[in-house]
Amino acid sequence: MPERAAETSHAFVLGLWRLADPKVSLASFASMLLGASLAGSTVSISWPWLALTVFGIFALEVAKNASGEIFDYDSGADLGVADEDRSPFSGGKRVLVDELLTRRQTTVIAAAGYILGAAAGFIIALWREPQVLWIGLLGVACAYFYHAPPFKLSYRGWGELAVGVCYGPLICLGTYLVQTRDLRSEVILVSLPLGLLIAAFLWVNEFPDEAADRAANKRTLVVRLGRPHAARVFAAMQAIAFATVALLPLSGLPKTVWLGGIAVVPAAFAAGRLLRNPNTTREIIPAQIATLAAFVLYSLGVSVGALL
């Protein structure tokens, strides 16, 4: 009996870790870093409010991952991923598929995450900046309805746009607003390339899942376009992102934001890799890693450039 309890406890901890693993939140961390750095170039950072912002968004990340697991399990999308198509960045968190968590545990984690994230947002809106409320409500809606009916954004070809908007302008602008209590169009402009690069990360992660998603009627854009066409669109997304970076100083931003251009190196590698072989997961994994590096380096580069 004690051994069974230990096994159950270990499975729960491992399942919770999969849902809360910080590497799955790198996209939101990159956007918050960019927003905070842009704010730090004009005002003194309020660390307690930044900490609450990070906590709230991280809680929503965990909630989104947990609720998404339930809907993807029920649709068969996660169950249909073949062993050879599993990668560290796609195929879901598999907490239900691998029986690490029960459905009830996953539901409780999702509910707790949404409640904690919403509570953080309401505290910020009530005692710091009321305009954060509409950004937070839109973010929560995107997180939940990314998988959930009636919208099921990721199942209807809208998931990529939702990710680009939320992890680019929405989180970056929200973080900036909490610090400065002001809205600036330049923040949206500088976050657009980040949104594109993060959407590209989702895009490349959809390639290993394409067969399972197609079977589960999860109509991502990779499923709709087919892998060869989707690989070309992936490369175009990267090109548009860096063309936008080149034009940023025209909006009044300092030329030091061009430091974000260092991300073109891993982005170009990822595009070339995917164009050459969009069909074999083991060949796609290096492109996934490089695409992740691209959005992280963009955020770091522009953040440093903004603070110089």
Q: Is the peptide bond before 150 cis (omega within 30 degrees of 0)?
A: yes
Q: What is the pLDDT of residue 89?
A: 87
Q: pLDDT-derived band of residue 2, with 50, 70 and 90 as boundaries?
A: very low
List 90's β-bridge partners, or say none: 87
Q: Which residues contact 74 (CB under 8 A, 6 or more apart)?
A: none
The dihedral built from the CA positions of residue 16, 19, 23 and 26, taken in this order, carries a sign that is negative
- In this prediction, residues 259-263 reach a mean pLDDT of 97
3-11 long-range contacts, CB within 8 A, separation 24+: 11/99, 11/100, 11/101
Q: How far is CA 181 from CA 128, 132, 133, 172, in A?
A: 8, 9, 12, 13
- In this prediction, residues 282-293 reach a mean pLDDT of 96
CB 31 within 8 A of CB 171: yes
How many residues belong to the chain?
308
pLDDT at 60 over 50: yes
Domain boundaries 2-307, CATH class: mainly alpha
- In this prediction, residues 26-33 reach a mean pLDDT of 96
Of all residues in the chain, the percent with pLDDT exceeding 70 is 98
- In this prediction, residues 156-161 reach a mean pLDDT of 96
The phi and psi torsions of 100 (rounded to 5 degrees) equal -80, -35
What are the boundaries of each domain within the chain? 2-307
Reported as a single tens digit per residue, the pLDDT across 98-129 is 999 999 999 999 999 999 999 999 999 999 99
Give the DSSP letter of residue 250.
G
Q: pLDDT-derived band of residue 192, with 50, 70 and 90 as boundaries?
A: very high
Q: What is the pLDDT of residue 7?
A: 58
Q: How far apart are CA 218 and CA 158, in angstroms?
A: 11
